[in-house]
Amino acid sequence: MVDLLDQISWGTLECLNEKPDHPIGNALKQGFREDGGLYLESDTDEQLLIHIPFSSAVKINSVIIQSKSKPEQAPRSVKLFVNRPTIGFSEAADTAGQADVELTPAQAAGEPIPLKLVKFQRVSVLTIFVADNVGDTESTVIEKLAILGSAGDSFNVAEIKDVSKEQG
Amino acid sequence: MTAAAPCIESTVVCVDNSEFTRNGDYAPTRFQAQADAVNLLAGAKTQHHPENTVGVMSMAGRSPRVLVTPTTELGKVLNAMMKMDIEGDVHLATAVQIAQLALKHRENKNQRQRIVIFIGSPIQEDKDSMVKIARKLKKNNIAVDIVSFGSEEANVEKLEAFQAAVNSNGNSHLVTVPPGTILSDQLFATPIFMEEGASSDGGGPAPPRSNVVDGFDYGELGVDPTLDPELALALR
């Protein structure tokens, strides 16, 4: 089980309702998410809708949704959807996800949230819908977001070797 | 989302085709002045980037409807404006919802979403409803430009509240066009026509008599874009 950071398709990554100066990159990217001063914050209200596309179909074991230094603004009710890249706020609120989680204080502090692997077998796009936060504050904050799992057998073009040259 | 340069955009233009637009306070009629502006705007957007798409919908009549789903083909937009009928009153809330849906189902998900609303009649929705609609649009990353003409005084409070609620980092603008002027000319130098990112520090609009519009020096062509915008665009 590894951090699927390298499998993320950064070009089509999308986060709805993020504050322009506190974007999704702050919570996902290496280096940014370790920095407590850089975080993802919601804008118009406390909800967030994050679409994370992967370059190959991945299996997901668990996710980390952490907000240690701002516990009042940490996410509380979170739904995860698989392969629904166009789902919107109202649809996400009304439908059941592949996982519906109420974060415990330990999970909000960084403990991985375990998922039913059988529901997260071939994920091309993972959608995280944050419905509300711990303290019912106006905005929700996520300091670190990590997806843990395993990548499928992906074709790494860099590894192609010229067989004829090898045989000399 | 962080802005990339250049940015590709999908725009749905909402046209006011209510009975109020028969009025001749904008020559020759509010509707025709609006149609000219819409055509020029669509032209400008498709010029900014080959992958930009523009769609058109009518807001008044029995119910708002999408006449052109966002396309790169300017001809379809021009056709739609020619065939549009004047009827009834504007249903703004419904129109915006439909525009939002049209954008949601765009082919190229990399395109940013924008709605341009031309409003030339009194708005029926109250201010609170307008702000609620605006916040929903902002939440979904949709930018909105508004062109207010005809009923500017009646609508100013509602439209200013709307623009303030939907604006995110200066991506949305409200332009008011006074009667007796040429609608297209008034819009030409505003941020609505310009490419996002080209308007530098978000200061005042560009000086009207300048030959440098949209970052392109029309002086080289010997054409003043404010006098003849169509020729200027064509030569460019």
Q: Is the ipTM of this complex over 0.85?
A: no
d(CA A32, CA A47): 22
- Whichever domain contains B130, its CATH number is 3.40.50.410
Q: What is the dihedral of CA B217, B221, B223, B229, to 10 degrees?
A: -70
Report the distance separating Cα A76 and Cα B10, nearest Å: 34
Q: Read off φ and ψ for residue B164, nearest 5 degrees.
A: -65, -35
What does the pLDDT look like over B145-168, one tens digit per residue?
999 999 999 999 999 999 999 999
Amino acid at A31: G
Interchain contact, B139 vs A44, CB within 8 Å: yes
- Asked, for residue B178, whether it belongs to a domain, the answer is yes
CA angle B204, B210, B214 (to 5 degrees): 70
- Chains A & B: contacts with CB separation below 8 Å: 36
Give the closest-approach CA distance of B17 to chain A in angstroms.
30
Question: Residue B107: what pLDDT?
Answer: 85
B chain contacts of residue A17, beta-carbon cutoff 8 Å: 138-141
Tell me, yes or no, whether A133 lies in a domain: yes
Interface test with A, best of B109, B112, B139 (most A CBs within 10 A): B139
Q: Which residues contact A69 (CB under 8 A, 6 or more apart)?
A: A36, A143
Q: In whole angstroms, what is the distance from residue B153 CA to residue B162 CA?
A: 15
Judge whether A93 lies within some domain: yes
Residue B23 lies in a domain: yes
Which pLDDT band holds residue B83 (cuts at 50, 70, 90)? very high
Q: Is residue A168 part of a domain?
A: no
* Residue B223 pLDDT grade (very low, low, confident, very high; cuts 50, 70, 90): low
Rounded Cα distance between B145 and B173, Å, is: 5
CB contact under 8 Å between B139 and A85, yes or no, is: no
Mean pLDDT of B121-128: 96
Confirm whether A163 is domain-assigned.
Answer: no
Per-residue pLDDT of chain A (168 residues; tens, 9 = 90+): 899 999 999 988 999 999 999 999 999 998 888 887 899 999 999 999 999 999 999 999 999 999 988 999 999 999 999 999 989 999 999 999 999 999 999 999 999 999 999 999 999 999 999 999 999 999 999 999 999 999 876 666 666 777 776 554
Q: How far apart are CA B229 and CA B214, in angstroms?
A: 12
Which of A13, A15, A17 to mutate to test binding with chain B, by most B CBs within 10 Å of its CB?
Answer: A17
Nearest chain A alpha carbon to B105 = A86
Q: What is the pLDDT of residues A55-74, one digit of tens each?
A: 999 999 999 999 988 999 99
CATH of the domain at A142: 2.60.120.470
**CA-to-CA distance for B171 and B163, rounded, in angstroms?**
10
Q: CA B112, CA B10: separation in Å to the nearest integer?
A: 6
Per-residue tokens: B142: 């949709």
In a domain, B152, yes or no: yes
Using a CB-CB distance cutoff of 8 angstroms, which residues of chain B are in contact with residue A43? 138-139, 168
pTM for the model: 0.81
Window 156-175 of B: residues touching A by CB (8 A cutoff) are 168-169
Q: Please count the structural domains in chain B.
A: 1
Domain count within chain A: 1
Separation in Å, CA of B1 to nearest CA in chain A:
6
Domain that holds residue A92: 2-153
Let me know: does B28 contact B130? Beta carbons within 8 Å: no
Tokens coding A79: 């739904």
pLDDT tens per residue, range A29-52: 988 888 878 999 999 999 999 999
Q: Å from A20 to nearest chain B CA? A: 7
For chain B, how far is it from start to end, CA to CA, in angstroms?
Answer: 31
Please name the residues in contact with B134: beta carbons below 8 A apart, sequence gap of 6 or more. B144, B161, B162, B163, B164, B165, B166
Q: What percent of chain B has pLDDT over 70?
A: 81
B36 in a structural domain = yes
For residue B52, what is the DSSP state? -
Residue B46 within a domain = yes
Q: Is residue B199 part of a domain?
A: no
Distance separating alpha carbons of residues B208 and B216, to the nearest angstrom: 14
CA A111 to CA A108: how far, in whole Å?
7
- Range(s) of the domain holding residue B67: 14-189
pLDDT at B218 over 60: no
What is the residue whose two structure tokens read 């070797």? A161
The one-letter code for the residue type at A167 is Q
Interface test with chain B among A16, A50, A89, A127, by most B beta carbons within 10 Å: A16
Domain assignment present for B228 = no
Do A43 and B168 lie within an 8 Å CB cutoff? yes
- Does the residue B203 lie in any domain? no
